[in-house]
């Protein structure tokens, strides 16, 4: 191996060693701060958000965080305007209340988990694998956790440590102390927590209300879709934000609500249909 390559390899090993030691020290500081209700941002030591900074022509590069906002997770497009920067931060928490909370939870979980992360669902005993598959979750990276028994706090804590997205459904009876403990562990492990009506505060709070249903005619038919108004408030949001969405959609669980149709548009003949003039009969 040539001398330049040996120097480059040594610099890489030294940088990785310093980064590993710094992460270990930060983990110990986080555990200490958590006992007093504190919080330390891990994003400064995340490898994906670090970039080299040259301090001189002969000096080894140092690592500097690109920003202090951490790794961002995607959200469904129709809901992106509800969140700061149109995304969610790893290790953050979202509380959802109101109509269609289960559908909103699953929509956020599918977008945040992506194609790599594991997702765990607790507090939804009626959610089956077929329903999860229809929602877009990968059953190969999905854990459905039971929530009964004396080991429930230990199970939830293990999930907060081991998955990328943790969904806490409406049937999960959490205590405020357990909620705070789960948030602390999730921040340390960079786990996104999505909860239906939790017993405490979350970083972002969503509230949804039903505006209208469609599909039911005059005395016949069935309900097919509903229009929801979803508002958000919390960290990084001045006041509150609001969007209107439609649930459900054949090509996805959620879609942007279209503009209200005018009366002229509703009476226009569909494209591709040509009206023929009547022809008088012969004889």
Write the pLDDT tens digit of every residue in 206-247: 999 988 877 776 667 676 778 899 999 999 898 899 999 988
Burial of 172 (0-12, 13-18, 19+ CB in 10 A): buried
Per-residue pLDDT at 235: 92
Instruction: Give the pLDDT mean for 116-145.
Output: 86
What is the C-alpha separation between 237 and 47, in angstroms, rounded?
27
Instruction: Give the pLDDT mean for 67-81.
Output: 82
Q: What is the mean pLDDT of the chain?
A: 75
Sequence-separated (6 or more) residues with CB below 8 Å from residue 277? none
Per-residue pLDDT at 126: 84
Question: Please, what is the Cα angle at 144 between 205 and 223, to 5 degrees?
Answer: 65
Give the position of tokens 């706090």. Answer: 153
End-to-end CA distance of the chain: 103
Other beta carbons less than 10 A from residue 182's beta carbon: 25
**Is residue 177 scored above 90 in pLDDT?**
yes
Per-residue pLDDT at 210: 86
**Is residue 28 scored above 70 in pLDDT?**
no
Q: Which residues of 26-46 are buried (b: 16+ CB within 10 A; e: fewer)?
A: beeebeeebeeeeeebbbbbb
Per-residue pLDDT at 273: 43
- CB 162 within 8 Å of CB 118: yes
Residue 17, CA atoms < 13 Å, CB-side half-sphere = 6
């Amino acid at each position: 191996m040539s001398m330049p390559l040996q120097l480059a390899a040594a610099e890489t090993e030294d940088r990785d060693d310093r980064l590993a030691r710094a992460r270990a020290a930060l983990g110990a500081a986080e555990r200490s701060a958590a006992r007093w209700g504190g919080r330390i941002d891990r994003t400064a030591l995340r490898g994906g958000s670090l970039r080299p900074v040259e301090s001189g022509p002969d000096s080894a590069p140092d690592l500097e965080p690109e920003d202090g906002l951490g790794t961002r997770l995607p959200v469904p497009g129709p809901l992106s305007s509800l969140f700061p920067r149109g995304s969610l931060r790893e290790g953050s928490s979202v509380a959802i209340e109101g109509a269609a909370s289960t559908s909103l939870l699953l929509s956020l979980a599918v977008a945040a988990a992506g194609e790599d992360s594991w997702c765990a669902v607790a507090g939804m005993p009626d959610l089956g694998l077929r329903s999860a598959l229809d929602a877009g979750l990968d059953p190969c990276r999905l854990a459905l956790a039971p929530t009964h028994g004396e080991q429930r706090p230990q199970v939830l804590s293990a999930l907060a440590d081991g998955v990328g997205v943790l969904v806490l459904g409406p049937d999960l009876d959490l205590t405020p102390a357990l909620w705070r403990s789960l948030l602390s562990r999730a921040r340390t492990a960079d786990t996104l927590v999505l909860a239906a009506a939790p017993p405490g505060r979350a970083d972002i709070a969503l509230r949804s209300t039903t505006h209208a249903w469609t599909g039911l005619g005059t005395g016949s038919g069935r309900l097919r879709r509903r229009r929801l108004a979803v508002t958000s408030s919390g960290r990084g949001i001045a006041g509150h934000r609001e969007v209107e969405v439609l649930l459900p959609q054949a090509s996805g669980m959620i879609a942007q609500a279209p503009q209200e149709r005018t009366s002229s548009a509703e009476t226009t003949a569909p494209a591709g249909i040509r009206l023929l003039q009547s022809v008088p009969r012969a004889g």
